[in-house]
Amino acid sequence: MRVRLARHAGFCMGVRRAMELVLAQSHQSEDKVYTYGPLIHNPQVLELLAGKGIEVLREMPPPGSVDGGIVIIRAHGVPPEEKARLSEAGFSRVVEGTCPRVIRVQAIIGRAAKKGADVIIVGDASHPEVVGLLGHAKGRGRVVSKPEEVAALPSLERVVAVAQTTQTGENFAAVVRELNKRFGQVEVHETICAATHRRQDEVRSLSREVDGMVVVGGRESGNTRRLAEVAGESGRPVFLVETEEELPRERLADLGVVGVTAGASTPNWLIKRVLRELAAVRSSREGGLSYAVRRTFRFFVRSQLLVALGAAGVTGASCLLQGLVPHPALAALAFFYIYAMHILNQFLDKEAGQYNDPDRAQFLIKHRFLLIGAGIFSAAAALVLCLMIGVLPFIVVSLLSLLGITYSLPVVPPSLRKRLNFASLKDIPGSKTVSAAGAWAVMAAVLPAMAFNIWHPVYLALAFVYVATLVFCRCAIFDVLDVQGDLVVGKETLPIVLGETKTQRLVWWLLAGLGGVMLLAPLAGAPAGESWSLLAPIAGMAVMQRVLVRGDMLPGALSEGLVDLNFLLAGALALAWWRL
């Protein structure tokens, strides 16, 4: 089945910010963490937060009844008097989690009320955001949910109209027209979140291009329900689901192309689980050969065979840059080592995988005995090959293997964990990306020089930088895609430490810098044709960075495979030069 994901599906800026605040406090603070009211309208997220010991305050505690702790105001915001009462209750800290766009609406209402204007809020009177907005109107606010309700308003002299940030533009415009008819020209502030406009316009367009739409999100979420309503305008079947378990697989099998979107309070891992289930549905319109090819490619990616082949390929490219004759044993060594480390570490670090890549997590569970056995065999094969090549390579790979296997294990003594603020190597910020780049570069660049005992420092440095930079960028690209799941489990990846935008810029600069190095490599004596041909994998990595960040391709087996094919491309180019 073909699946098309709306580019702006999932967490909006405000919800994401609130989630990051809550998770950061949960991981970094020893104080009890509370949210004042449910953080967002998504039962699965609330269940996850509850599992982390984050308690939801359903009622305002009496003054002085709380002995410390951190309370976070949810993205919808609260009336100002309630925020003050939270401080009086005895919490050690009150953290503002209100969406900045909601804060802007609160400020508009506050200024209007201060000037004596009557504020009309277009929205759902029972919605938490609207309740909070009313609190800033100083008793001069009224809520209208649809145009017909304007006639019931009392006579008002000066009217200011604002909208709940998740309202539909059509409904807000219709209410404003009625307000103008009733009270003359009113002062209108367009306060619908731009992200809401984009989502609705995108869904309206996407629903016309597919055979059916799946909308993922909590049924209590107003913006999710509105997305389903907008999708339904196309006349296509629409399925509103909270989890992948609710997907009507039999009805979906009759569709050729399915569009997917999600409400602003729907996390990425829920969307990915739905995408995984949809990908497993065989459409009645899909041919047998196409289905078989798709499933075979998925197996190669999910089993880590493709990335291991990529390690063998980039080893060939490294030999090319160093002027070394390729040897099958070196390619096999890189294949077995990278395969073993990737497979075994995925089983040691399963928690984040449940959120970052549910498809891979299910694949690991289904084939765990086969994959663990293959990983152990590959580790042993890598060590045997090293021993055949020489004692020094054997020692180097043994040390690398030990570091790789213990990467996810809590090796730091309990007495030092609090002082160092980490229990295992994976807890060190950015360690996964740096260690993976270093390990690949040692296997692909240093081991061949060591095996042949031919050392050209400039060429070795060129090969090391080439491999390390490509692998670093590969890991950073996937870390950006996995940032929500890593936040949940408390992993300190580069996007969490630096921020997603800075990480993306870092990738661009590294790829551009590597491209410049390869262009200038002939000045250091490297063969021009060989060096310049290896620009192709750099360009391919840059293209995949742009495609995935922009959301032009679904994250999953296909996108991961296309990223890793750049390493195979490097090997194919090297092989082509040796054949010439």
Among all residues, which ones are annotated catalytic?
129
Q: Please state, in angstroms and rounded to a whole number, the distance separating the CA atoms of residues 52 and 59.
A: 21
HEC assignment per residue over 351-371: HHHHHHCHHHHHHHHHCHHHH
| Amino acid, single-letter form, for residue 376 | I
- CA distances, 142 to each of 109, 238, 270 (Å): 11, 34, 36
* Rounded-to-integer distance, Cα 71 and Cα 332, Å: 55
Torsion of CA 373, 379, 380, 382, to 10 degrees: 140
Name the nearest CA neighbour of 564 among 323, 253, 362, 312.
312
CA separation for the pair 277, 244 (Å, rounded): 6
Strand 159-163 and strand 212-216: pairing?
Answer: unpaired
Q: Residue 195: name the closest of 4, 42, 6, 13 by CA.
A: 13
* Rg from Cα positions in the chain: 28
Beta strand 118-122 with 159-163 is parallel
Contact 165, 105 (CB under 8 A): yes
Taking the C-alpha atoms of residue 433 and residue 384, their distance in angstroms, rounded to an integer, is 27
What residues contact residue 419 under an 8 Å CB cut-off, 6+ apart? none
Reduced to 3 states (helix: H, G, I; strand: E, B; else coil), residue 191 is: coil
Q: Which of 183, 190, 134 is nearest to 161 (CA)?
A: 190
Return the SS3 of 330.
helix
